Amino acid sequence: MKLFTMAACALLLWTLQGMVFNRFWAKRLSVTLSFDCRARVEGEEGTLKETITNAKALPVPVLHVKFQMDRHLVFASSGNSRVTDNSYRSDIFSCMPWQEIRRSLKFQCQKRGYYTISQVQLVSYDLFFAGHFAAALPALASLYVYPKTVDMEKLHLPFRNLMGQILANRSLILDPFEIQSVRPYESYDPYRAVNWKATARTGELKVNVFSPSSSWQVMFLLDVDSDRIWKDEALTEEAIRLCGSYCRLLIGEGIPVSVCTNGTDCLSGTRGFLEPGAGPDHLRSVMELLARIRIHEDGHLPMEQILGQLASPGSFVPAGSDSLIYILISPKARASMAQAYDSLCRLSPGSQWILPLRPGQTFQGGQDGGPAPQRFSYYSVYPWEVAYDYSQTS
């Protein structure tokens, strides 16, 4: 009889604890994931913060926390992770009553992009490991990985030439209504530039120095499409890095920049475009747009068509711009591209085409024949050699 009573009590305890865990194990149990910062640069290390909180009296003896993120964010410790099409992570915790557990997971940012973790899956058991419980919680973790900086020594030549073009044109047209400073009169100064108040105050002829009237802006035309049978992703990624690095240089000089690309913005699902602007906030917007661009989707609008739209009457010109210079970044050295860009740059002398290519490749001619890009006179072509990375081949 005593044995029967003990067995009945054990069965009752087993049943009750199973019911209690089934109903209350997930109550006031939270898991949060957050990156240590909003943005990183490809090649840098980041930290994913994992916080588990059990704010109740019932313990959770075993808790599996599972989530997935992009495989280009590689955990430094691979003991609890598995990488296939994505990086899958599974951690095991034991949560006592009213306990908070914090863990920091180091990872490497191997590629630019916009990465999110949208869901966390939880799996637990009762005290006797007889019951199996599962739940899913939303996660709101996101990280921008900016394109890394290119070799600035190589970029110095086109940047110097562009700044020379801007500075030379700035000095040609002056605004008669905006006085920059006052200086002594010289024999070549016109009398209409004399500042009579300053002259009367000092007893010497003084003239006004007027500010430039033109507000120069630069529009980047970033081509992520390919004219090859097998798309050379390294050339496209280098084009995106070039755009980010060049924008950083120009914004550092106070030159407003805008970005137009045929790549798809992964958030909006539309073609990437950014209005002109300058300053640290605008630079961050540029880098975030470049991080969000998808290059593997089909149906990209050919850049030649975008160039034709910009060159047509009534096309978009950034508001408040007196002068606009274009910078095309495209690895497609075809004659149709050169002709379309030449038509666009007729009213924008000083524009540039930066052409990423592989060692041994040239931009003489194109797939559809015709003249080479450097024969056109309204812009300069700068070949940008991208070496093969044999460490990425298996």
Q: Which domains does the chain have, with CATH numbers?
A: 27-146 (2.60.40.10), 152-169+215-392 (3.40.50), 174-212 (no CATH)
| 137: nearest Cα among 40, 239, 64, 48 | 64
Q: What is the pLDDT of residue 371?
A: 37
Q: How far apart are CA 391 and CA 388, in angstroms?
A: 9
Alpha carbons 45 and 75: distance in angstroms, whole number: 10
Looking only at the bridges linking them, the beta strands covering 257-265 and 216-222 are parallel
Give the pair of three-digit tokens for residue 30: 């939270």
Per-run averaged pLDDT (10 residues), the chain, 394 residues: 69 69 87 95 95 92 92 82 79 92 93 95 82 87 96 92 78 59 80 83 83 76 83 92 96 92 92 92 97 83 90 58 84 85 86 91 52 61 87 50
- 8 Å CB contact between 381 and 355: yes
Whole-number pLDDT of residue 171 = 54
Token pair in block for residue 219: 């529009």
Torsion angle, CA of 260/285/276/172, rounded to 10 degrees? -110
Question: Residue 368: its pLDDT value, please?
Answer: 42
CA distances from 234 to 111, 144, 238, 356 (A): 11, 20, 6, 10
Radius of gyration of the chain (CA): 31
State the Cα–Cα distance between residues 67 and 283, nearest whole angstrom: 32
Which pLDDT belongs to residue 159?
93
Contacts of 356 (CB under 8 A, 6+ apart): 235, 238, 239, 242, 329, 331, 384, 385, 386
pTM: 0.82
